[in-house]
């Protein structure tokens, strides 16, 4: 028969849950992660999707103890129900072809990142070779050996080929002489997965055991991650308002953080938070940004942003400041027009908060879930500071879909004039005032040049610009293999959508080309917590899992403030 290699009694007991048997591959549960179960070419009745096995599947498998003599098997009190309750299932590499299966609220079909031969990848690979001076240090914390824990290491950017010795917990002693001359700090960006959104989109978490999805289980894990990584600044997305009010805020305050929060508009129960260590920073201003505008049909979504201006403590320059922004842009892959407008609104707010007395901008850090993949037009606009969107289809703005369904071309201009934001992503009233003040001080020749620039920008109305020279903390591809880094991973996909962008200083060797001409001092990237591949994440059953309770990974970077 079809399963002639098995005893007849095993065939009879297993006919409902074994549909294929390969004599060369014995199926058993001997993985380093006991909660992960994988089958070869197997469609069990309790799974609506195939679960193919990886190529290296046989290396860690052994014959299961209950496939022994029949008497031992009977005495083992083994039941299928008990067996399936104690394990989760390894999902295949996502190759979903039916876009309509996922709702607009939380769908993460971002296949645009999967093309490993994209120009963005080639650029990043060459940048990595230029940087070349990476020192890798493994975290050897006690809980690092905990079963099912994702192992991530720190990558330290070196200077002149010398390994930088940074303490494991990255605490800087501000009392010593060396610290007084430099201000080092860490920033985390983390989408912690709102419980409300998790429950509304439960189909994305079929691979998880039910108990792992309860907030009572998830929050202690999230808090433990925050404690362990011990960042000086936290930028959190999908922070549910009732949980923030009753648990999150008080828990973070007990760790020495001051918290600022902006809830989404409408009936959306979550929002963005920025929290900072009061021992490292003081608050100058907090500026929430609402992307919903009742009088503008284009802006009918409830996403928000938050912009803080912080003053570093223990720093020699009294008026030094750092601008930190956090946002969660619209998900919908077919509404690139809304995404770009939301981003322009955030940049306009930053441009109004970050100017210093001398007219330059203070260092800027922008964190968040941008729902866009590396190399997409939206991503390039952030990094390059310009985008000509003439003829660009709205479904291609974020690169989330390999074959985008949103084919309508972006209108010129994208947003109406009454929004009050120019194509340079600044508030028009403030821009006009700035030009007026500049006109009173500048010589006639310089004034004419300014007018020519303004006229040129009006003629090229399909060109967006912003004034920040930004680099990405992460490279998005592993230089050795070209495999994409992943920041989110669930039942449907695994891609990068989360970023930390920063104003790179002139001598920052980690900065991408185009950032080295920064005119406002800036930040030097000292190190980052390495990301993982999709394969790495599925060894612990994807996200969320037993120890990592969000469907996103926390991003973490260490910076040094460089003065002009």
Point out the least confidently predicted range of 119-133, 180-194, 265-279, 341-355: 119-133
In which residue are the tokens 């799974």 written? 47
Q: How confident is the model at residue 92 (pLDDT cuts 50, 70, 90)?
A: very low
Per-residue pLDDT at 511: 76
Residue 558, pLDDT > 60, answer: yes
Query: What average pLDDT is seen over the chain?
Result: 76
Most confident region among 77-81, 114-118, 464-468, 517-521 by mean pLDDT = 464-468
pLDDT of res. 422: 97
Of residues 308 and 174, more confidently modeled: 308
CA dihedral 448, 452, 458, 460 (to 10 degrees): -170
Q: CB atoms < 10 A from the CB of 516, how many?
A: 16
The proportion of the chain whose per-residue pLDDT surpasses 90, expressed as a percent, equals 56
Listing DSSP states for 74-102 in one string gives: HHTT--HHHHHHT-EEPPPPP----GGGS
Between 219 and 128, residue with greater pLDDT: 219
Q: What is the Cβ-side half-sphere exposure of residue 511, based on CA atoms within 13 angstroms? A: 23
What is the pLDDT at residue 371? 98
Kindly provide the residue ranges of all beta strands, DSSP E only, lying in 49-198, ordered along the sequence. 88-89, 134-137, 154-157, 183-191
Residue 147: band (very low, low, confident or very high) from pLDDT cuts 50, 70, 90: low
Say which residue the tokens 């500071």 belong to: 385
Those residues with Cβ within 8 angstroms of residue 90's Cβ, 6 or more apart along the chain or in another chain: 36, 37, 38, 51, 54, 207, 538, 541
The listed range with the strongest mean pLDDT (179-188, 260-269, 518-527) is 260-269
**What is the value of pTM for the model shown?**
0.72
At 526 the pLDDT is 98
Q: What's the rounded mean pLDDT across residues 498-524?
A: 74
Outline where DSSP puts E strands in 295-352.
304-312, 322-328
The crossing angle, in degrees rounded to 10, of helices 377-384 and 336-353 is 20
Residues 6+ apart with CB under 8 A from 83: none
Task: State how beta strands 364-369 and 322-328 pair.
Answer: parallel
The per-residue pLDDT for 429 is 78
What pLDDT digit, counting tens, does each position of 282-297 carry?
Answer: 999 999 999 999 999 9
Tell me what pLDDT residue 486 has. Answer: 98
| 227 against 319, higher pLDDT | 227
Domains of the chain, earliest start first: 180-400+407-428+460-562 (3.60.10.10)
CB within 8 Å of 38: residues ≥ 6 apart: 31, 51, 53, 54, 57, 89, 90
Give phi and psi for 127, each to the nearest 5.
-65, -40
Confidence band (pLDDT; 50, 70, 90) for 475? very high
d(CA 238, CA 422): 29
When computed from its CA atoms, the radius of gyration of the chain, rounded to whole angstroms, is 26
Q: What is the pLDDT of residue 13?
A: 46
Mean pLDDT within 343-357: 97
Q: Are 561 and 315 in contact (CB under 8 A)?
A: yes
CA dihedral for 454, 459, 461, 464, sign (positive or negative)? negative
Cα 371 to Cα 471: distance, rounded to the nearest angstrom: 18
Q: Which residue has the higher pLDDT, 458 or 422?
A: 422
DSSP three-state, residue 486: strand
Q: What are phi and psi of 190, to 5 degrees?
A: -150, 120
pLDDT band at 496 (very low <50, low <70, confident <90, very high): very high
pLDDT per position as a tens digit, 379-414: 999 999 999 999 999 999 999 998 888 789 999 999
């Amino acid at each position: 028969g079809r399963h002639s290699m098995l005893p007849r009694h095993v065939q009879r007991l297993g006919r409902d849950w074994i549909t294929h048997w390969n004599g060369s591959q014995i199926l058993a549960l001997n993985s380093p992660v006991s909660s992960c179960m994988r089958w070869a070419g197997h469609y069990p009745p309790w799974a609506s999707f195939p679960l193919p096995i990886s190529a290296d599947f046989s290396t860690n498998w052994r014959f299961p103890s209950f496939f022994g003599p029949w008497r031992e098997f009977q005495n083992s009190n083994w039941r299928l129900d008990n067996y399936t309750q104690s394990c989760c299932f390894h999902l295949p590499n996502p190759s979903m072809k039916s876009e309509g299966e996922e709702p607009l609220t939380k769908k993460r079909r971002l296949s645009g990142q999967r093309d490993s031969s994209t120009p963005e990848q080639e650029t990043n690979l060459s940048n990595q070779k230029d940087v070349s001076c990476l020192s890798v240090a493994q975290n050897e914390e006690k809980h690092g050996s905990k079963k099912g824990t994702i192992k991530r290491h720190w990558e330290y950017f070196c200077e002149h080929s010398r390994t930088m010795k940074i303490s494991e917990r990255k605490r800087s002693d501000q009392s010593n002489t060396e610290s007084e001359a430099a201000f080092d700090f860490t920033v985390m960006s983390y989408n912690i997965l709102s419980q409300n959104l998790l429950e509304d989109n439960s189909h994305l978490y079929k691979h998880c055991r039910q108990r792992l999805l309860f907030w009572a289980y998830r929050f202690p894990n999230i808090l433990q991650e925050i404690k362990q990584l011990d960042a000086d600044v936290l930028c959190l997305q999908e922070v549910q308002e009732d949980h923030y009010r009753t648990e999150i805020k008080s828990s973070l305050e007990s760790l020495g953080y001051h918290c600022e929060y902006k809830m989404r508009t409408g009936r959306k129960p979550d929002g963005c938070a920025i929290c900072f260590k009061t021992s490292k920073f003081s608050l100058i201003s907090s500026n929430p940004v609402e992307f919903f505008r009742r009088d503008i049909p284009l802006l009918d979504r409830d996403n928000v942003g938050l912009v803080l201006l912080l003053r570093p403590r223990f720093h020699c320059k009294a008026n030094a400041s750092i601008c930190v922004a956090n946002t969660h842009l619209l998900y919908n892959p077919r509404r690139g027009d809304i995404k770009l407008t939301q981003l322009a609104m955030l940049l306009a707010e930053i441009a109004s908060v970050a100017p210093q007395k001398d007219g330059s901008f203070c260092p800027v850090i922008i964190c968040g879930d941008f729902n866009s993949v590396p190399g997409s037009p939206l991503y390039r606009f952030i990094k390059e500071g310009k985008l000509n969107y003439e003829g660009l289809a709205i479904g291609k703005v974020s690169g989330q879909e390999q074959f985008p369904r949103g084919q309508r071309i972006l209108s010129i201009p994208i947003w109406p004039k009454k929004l009050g934001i120019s194509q340079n992503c600044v508030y028009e009233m403030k821009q006009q005032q700035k030009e007026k003040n500049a006109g009173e001080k500048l010589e006639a020749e310089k004034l004419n040049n300014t007018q020519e620039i303004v006229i040129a920008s009006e003629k090229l109305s399909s060109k967006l610009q912003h004034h920040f020279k930004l680099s990405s903390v992460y490279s998005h591809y592993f230089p050795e293999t070209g495999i994409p880094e992943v920041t989110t991973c669930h039942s449907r996909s695994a891609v990068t959508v989360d970023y930390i962008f920063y104003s790179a200083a002139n001598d920052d060797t980690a900065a991408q080309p185009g950032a080295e001409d920064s005119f406002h001092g800036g930040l030097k990237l000292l190190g980052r917590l390495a990301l993982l591949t999709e394969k790495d994440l599925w060894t612990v059953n994807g996200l969320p899992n037993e120890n990592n309770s969000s469907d996103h990974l926390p991003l973490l970077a260490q910076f040094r403030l460089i003065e002009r």
